[in-house]
Structure 1
Amino acid sequence: MSITTTTHLNFHGEARAALEFYQSVFGGQLTVATYGDFGMPQDAPGAANVVFGQVETEQGFRVMAYDIPGEAGGTADSDTAASSTGSTRRDNGVTLTDQPFFVSVRGDTLDEIQGYWAALSTGASIVEPLAASAWSPGFGMLTDAFGVTWILDVAAVYTA
């Protein structure tokens, strides 16, 4: 038996923009279906919003997203996103947050993670800069322009 978990992000009219951004960062295949595609009249408010969206890569990255029905559209603005999704910050070496989850991306090499970091940090609020840590050759945390907090790190190689 195998099992796969996929992060499913909920947005307020920004799901398509977020998924397009994540595809630009990680590559892969973008799939988007709107409420209008599933029968909502095309001229109805929210018909163009995402009812199902996904970015998936051959390397194993996958994220899903949709727009919460009936919610007013937002903007991909850090202040708006942060106020609607919570906040995360570092204080005296401790991560303080009111968010229920972070999205973690772990790579095999620092070069790989640095590439994702450079792209994902566009418009982001840096919580912890990408740098070597006690447990990883590279670890960083940021909250992107859509209010999603990401942890990026390099898998540590332990020797016995």
Structure 2
Amino acid sequence: MSVTTTTHLNFRGSAREALDFYRSVFGGRTAVVTYKDVGNVQSENEADWVTWGEVVGDNGFHVMAYDVPSQSPWNQGENPFFVSVRGDDAEEIGSLWHRLAEGSTIVRPLEPAQWAPLYGMLTDRFGVTWVLDVAAAYNG
């Protein structure tokens, strides 16, 4: 079993530009999934915004990013990132979730999602927002 943590940056409409910039600096490959790609367009002018994206470099660099939809509260100074915990074992991710959830505010329950076998988000008692998921192959 393996678990990794990755900084998950939050933007409002500029995630793709940021990911392209980070790739130009650190190298590697970029993967981007839009709200349109997953059928979750809530505002037509945000259809091509990033619902999930990452840059992964051969040198070990890894950062994830997304565009917070306009109907969700977001303040760059208050919630600029998440810590993403990704693993390949649902039981292990579930166990980590239950321990992290103690005293936390659940933003999205840990459950199957369109893009992952398990996905959940919570804000712990220290104010840090965590995203936990079971990795699924991306075929885009």
TM-score (norm 1): 0.43
TM-score, structure 2 as length reference? 0.48
More strand by share: 2
Greater RCO between the two (CA within 8 Å, min separation 6)? Answer: 2
* Structure showing greater Rg: 1
